[in-house]
Amino acid sequence: MSALQQAAAIRAGELSPVELVEHYLGRIERLDQRVGAFSYVAADQARAAARVAEKRLTGRSGAAELPPLFGVPTAVKDLTATSDMPTTFGSAAFKGFTPPVEAHVVRLLREAGTISLGKLNAAEFGLSPYTDTYAGSSRTPWDLTRTAGGSSGGSGAAVAADLVPFAHGNDAGGSVRIPASVCGVFGFKPSRGRISNGPLAPDPVIQLCQGPLTRTVADAAALLDAMAGPQPGDLFWAPPLPDGDSFLERSAREPAPLRIGRFLHPGSDELHVHPDVVAAYEQATELLVALGHEVEDIDPPFGPAMVEEFQDVWSVRSLRVPVTEEDLLLPLTRYWRERGRTVSSERFLGALQDIQLRATRAMADAHRFDAVLSPTLALPPQRPEWFKELGPATDLKRQFMASPYAAAQNVTGQPSASLPLHWSAQGLPIGVMLTGRLGEDAELLALCAQLEAAKPWAGRRPPL
């Protein structure tokens, strides 16, 4: 059942929150040692919350009293502050740490009626497109030798393995869309300012977005409805929907014929796009055309000049987490932070300004299109050892080889989604990415839902 189906069954009295929580805790106990999705399982807290929900359910006078996702289990990425359970940021340096505050998005998920089963494994400080931490290695359930992606690897693995029906993630350089691609689920990065990052200090380079990983587009829209909305102190607010409207309702509307740009080139002639990725991209194009949309080839919006600038910005960003015991950090994290300390303030501000200028030009060039199609990744799911085996410098190069597409939308702030429309002959999921205009999250969700209806993916289950 989808998350929305579970919520409806609870309202109808066909399922109880206690049953659902026990069902998923049982799956976590049986399967998570192999999948590595959770960094912390809050079994006692979840059971207690389910019992409270059960009492509220039996004592209600009408369904209207219940929040929209009442009783549905979920879990929160371990980069996001929770005041009632540990938040380690994927790092042994913060093992056992419980923040004194919680993120707005955590409170909003609770107010929507969801029950958190714990914290989901995440790449240390969100710095890599694979998740391999002190808490274990998150693996795609489609091939347990391969990474679940990152930095929201635990979120992607948990949804793909049916350890939760939907999950929270966040995305500063592809961290929702990358796990969605390699785990065969749907991942949505909303427009900048759509979901609050507060109340902690804002992302200094303005790239971070919260977002859902789900099996269906409708579930993602419902989770977006629960999380969206400005909060006091937010620097950016995305344009709200009209009063009484919702992303869930808008996602169900059939889109008119759209003009869609597409590009395959990864922005550097040194990079190779795998044939399975090309096949997924071409099949997505054929599907869009069959649905009546006009598809046109365009030049890649960003070139190799942006890579060095992005890495300068990313390395300085890695220093935003204060650490007292640097020797507990992973080699890659230490590498990023050491590089960040060599970047002068002048160089950092110059890189930030140049990236934003390129983003502005790219958005202006693409504004004539309703959406843009590209691969999510240039390679199929990889083994985490492939990234790490030759040290941090090679790790960094291989990260760019695997993921040259997804970070651009964090710079522009546009909504962007990874859709699981293709599986390789080896049974590996290969996502494609659709990016919409800034602020037009609802329109992008409607297009994604149309593709899902034409080529459903939610019923596919990994051999796990």
State phi, psi for 118 to the nearest 5 degrees.
Answer: 145, -155
State how far the Cα of 159 lies from the Cα of 154, in Å rounded to an integer: 9
CB proximity list for 181: less than 8 A, separation 6 or greater: 149, 187, 376, 377, 418, 420, 429, 430, 431, 433
**Residue 151 is a catalytic residue:** yes
Q: Which of 230, 245, 258, 75 lies closest to 159, judged by CA? A: 75
SS3 content of the chain, % helix, strand, coil (to 5): 40, 15, 45
Residue whose token pair is 């399982």: 41
Contact 186, 418 (CB under 8 A): yes
Counting Cα atoms < 13 Å in the Cβ hemisphere of 312 gives 19
3-state secondary structure of 418: strand
Rg of the chain's alpha carbons, rounded to an integer?
21
3-state secondary structure of 9: helix
State how far the Cα of 37 lies from the Cα of 23, in Å rounded to an integer: 16
Of 175, 181, 191, 318, the active-site residue reads 175
Of 16, 116, 151, 152, the active-site residue reads 151
Sign of torsion over alpha carbons 160, 200, 196, 236: negative
Contact 421, 283 (CB under 8 A): yes
Strands lying side by side in the sheet with 115-120: 38-41, 115-120, 73-77
CA angle 356, 359, 362 (to 5 degrees): 155
Of 16, 77, 137, 189, the active-site residue reads 77
The crossing angle, in degrees rounded to 10, of helices 305-317 and 331-342 is 100
**Residues designated as active site:** 77, 151, 175
